[in-house]
Amino acid sequence: MGFALAQHHKYQNEITRELFVNTADENYVTARFCFTESLYTDFYWLAVHCIEKYLKAVLAINEHSTKKYNHDICRLYDDVHKLASDLLPCKCSKPDIIDVKNWIDETPRDFLRRIYSNGDANNRYQIYGYVQQPDDIFKLDHMVFSVRRLSLSPMDAYYYNDETYRELLARQQETPLPMPNGNLEKMISGARGARLRDIACNRNLFFAPEDYEHTKIKLKRSVRRPVLLYDVLEPLMSGTQSTKDVASLVLNWVLKYISLPADVRKDLEKWSQ
């Protein structure tokens, strides 16, 4: 029985790593690339995607179901927080060496709620637009660091030398605790090439080795307004009669041919004739 249980835990860990963590690692590093290249639509989509998988990994490895959440990272985070509130940060605060103007201190849940809105599945089509903050990449790094390390082992299993994994995490709050065969570890070490190592490490205060030579990245604030707002709703609300006539025709075309979230469709239908 003891051998069977040990093998069960071995495969449990391997399946969790392969299904959730390793795929999330690739999403995470790709999100960092998108941010540095000002590809913010995909940055938010991938940021939400990787956080979702890391959170599900924590639940799965600790034998909690991942089935009921769909892609809702806020609900996922709430349940992981119940499991490990003592091991998660209270605030995404600005590190002393980060040179970001107008940094906004946020709780982890406030940050996750905001990127969930910006990275919503419907926002792949920019239905809602986004407001991008220059500190978002650093907050993403912080959240990945904080959550990913919880997925290495069942929280209350004995990990080493009569110490549970929870006790180890509490004792090493600022240590990444590398995952065996983890994709992120491979990228940080350079095993997957110099380019991926730079994307994973540059300006990454939570994962980059101490001797890594950082270079500057572009940090700016960006706003993307939804096209349905400025091409349809604003002309209907405050345009001339001729622009209202055009906007009305466009609105009917949108409603007829484009798939929309139910709340957006309902709002637009109020303006249709």
Shared domain for 98 and 120, answered yes or no, is yes
Task: Give residue 265's domain range.
Answer: 226-269
Shared domain for 37 and 72, answered yes or no, is yes
Q: Looking at residues 245-250, what average pLDDT do you find?
A: 92
Check the CA dihedral 94-99-102-108 and report its sign.
Answer: negative
Q: What is the pLDDT of residue 23?
A: 97
Q: What is the pLDDT of residue 8?
A: 58
pTM of the model: 0.91
Shared domain for 151 and 242, answered yes or no, is no
Shared domain for 41 and 175, answered yes or no, is yes
Given a cut of 50, is residue 1 above it in pLDDT? no
Nearest-5° Cα angle at 76, 17 to 130: 105
Q: What is the pLDDT of residue 7?
A: 55
Give the integer Cα–Cα distance in Å for 248 and 232: 7
Shared domain for 188 and 261, answered yes or no, is no
Q: What is the pLDDT of residue 107?
A: 95
Shared domain for 102 and 163, answered yes or no, is yes
Shared domain for 243 and 203, answered yes or no, is no
Are 145 and 236 in contact by the 8 Å Cβ rule? The answer is: no
Q: What is the pLDDT of residue 156?
A: 85
Shared domain for 231 and 132, answered yes or no, is no
Domain count, the chain: 2
Shared domain for 117 and 199, answered yes or no, is yes
Domain boundary among 187, 203, 223: 223
**What would the pLDDT profile of 41-98 be if each residue is shown by its tens digit?**
999 999 999 999 999 999 999 999 888 888 899 999 999 999 999 999 999 878 777 7
**What would the pLDDT profile of 257-268 be if each residue is shown by its tens digit?**
999 999 999 999
Given a cut of 90, is residue 195 above it in pLDDT? yes
> Between 272 and 266, whose confidence is greater?
266
Shared domain for 20 and 125, answered yes or no, is yes
Given a cut of 90, is residue 109 above it in pLDDT? yes
Shared domain for 216 and 235, answered yes or no, is no
Task: Say whether 132 sits in a helix, a strand or coil.
Answer: strand
Shared domain for 175 and 241, answered yes or no, is no
> Between 151 and 272, whose confidence is greater?
151
pLDDT, averaged across the chain:
90
Using CA atoms, how far residue 207 sits from 37, 70, 234, 266, in Å, is: 20, 29, 45, 45
**What would the pLDDT profile of 9-49 be if each residue is shown by its tens digit?**
677 888 889 999 999 999 999 999 999 999 999 999 999 99
